[in-house]
Amino acid sequence: MAVVKAKDASKMDQKARNEKMKELKLELMKSQAGAQKSSGKTKEIKRAIARLLTFNSANKAKEKNK
């Protein structure tokens, strides 16, 4: 399962987060095709994508304020 913790996401650079997000989106599509309405794996993948998006937007805000 693709678990991305906040600590790991903060250590990644922008490019690495974008690559990981692409991988997670592909995995999400695969898991939704073969799973029921809402499985635990699907939920965890969605959370990981949300974490990465949050860190991306936070970094953009920091760069904008500099």
Give the tens place of pLDDT for each residue, 10-65.
Answer: 898 889 999 999 999 999 988 888 766 667 888 899 999 999 999 998 888 887 88
Q: Higher confidence at residue 2 or residue 62? A: 62
Q: Please state the pTM of the whole predicted model.
A: 0.80
What does the block give as tokens for 41? 């794996």
Give the Cα-Cα-Cα angle 20, 54, 38 (nearest 5 degrees).
Answer: 70
Note the pLDDT of residue 41.
85
Chain centre distance of CA 42: 12
Predicted confidence at residue 64, as pLDDT, reads: 80
Residue with tokens 């095709």: 33
